[in-house]
């Protein structure tokens, strides 16, 4: 007979089923604001989402994009600004617990997307910026959650230190 401890160690958890079950248990809220709605039991709330902090980070990033020329009327200036911005990202391995959400929930209603994210492990899907010492997931919430459901403690992300980049001009 197998011991309970060995059963727990050897059991295989299907991350997709775990995500769906999590949404059924915790996805009770449907109204996340005037324009942001979710289907009941089809979303997983992200508990470390803080709208005020996220808004400040997004505003600072917007101003930085503006400074680079990413909103220029000239197409070649925009292309050059985007290349410059992309070049400032580097791959970095981070603890999932150190990442902060920039959205209040992830949807689990699209099972195919959920399955693809769980099966696909790539750092290019997770974009993180550092603002005021915190690391915000700008893109890739599903990928981070999928890694969490696979039992991973760390993920490789595309990381940009907005603090260091915007403090350069102040010195």
Please state the rounded mean pLDDT for residues 113-130: 78
Say if residue 73 is exposed, middle or buried (CB neighbours under 10 Å; 0-12, 13-18, 19+): exposed
The parent domain of residue 124 ranges over 43-63+91-166
CATH number at residue 149: 3.90.1530.10
CA atoms of 171 and 151, how far apart (whole Å): 42
Count of structural domains within the chain: 1
Tell me the CA distances in angstroms from 15 to 19, 35, 44, 118, 141, one per residue in order.
Answer: 6, 30, 14, 7, 15
pLDDT at 21: 85
Say what the alpha-carbon torsion angle 91, 93, 94, 95 is, to the nearest 10 degrees.
160
Confidence of residue 6 (pLDDT cuts 50, 70, 90): low
102 inside domain = yes
Please state the rounded mean pLDDT for residues 118-140: 86
7 inside domain = no
Look at strands 127-131 and 154-161 and give their pairing: parallel
160 inside domain = yes
103 inside domain = yes
17 inside domain = no
pLDDT at 12: 63
88-115 pLDDT, tens digit per residue, is: 999 999 999 999 999 999 888 877 877 7
Report field, pTM of the whole predicted structure over 0.95 = no
137 inside domain = yes
58 inside domain = yes
38 inside domain = no
pLDDT at 93: 95
């Amino acid at each position: 007979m197998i011991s309970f401890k060995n059963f727990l160690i050897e059991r295989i958890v299907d991350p997709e089923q775990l995500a769906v079950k999590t949404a059924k248990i915790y996805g009770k809220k449907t109204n996340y604001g005037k324009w942001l709605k979710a289907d009941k039991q089809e979303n997983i709330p992200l508990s470390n989402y803080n709208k005020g902090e996220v808004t400040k980070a997004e505003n600072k990033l917007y101003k930085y994009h503006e400074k680079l020329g990413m909103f220029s009327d000239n197409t070649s200036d925009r292309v050059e600004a985007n290349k410059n911005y992309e070049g400032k990202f580097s791959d970095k391995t981070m603890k999932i617990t150190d990442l902060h959400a920039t959205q209040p929930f992830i949807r689990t209603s699209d099972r195919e997307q959920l399955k693809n994210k769980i099966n696909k492990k790539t750092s290019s899907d997770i974009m993180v910026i550092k603002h005021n010492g915190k690391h915000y997931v700008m893109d890739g919430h599903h990928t981070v959650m999928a890694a969490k459901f696979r039992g991973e403690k760390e993920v490789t992300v595309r990381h940009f230190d907005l603090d260091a980049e915007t403090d350069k001009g102040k010195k």
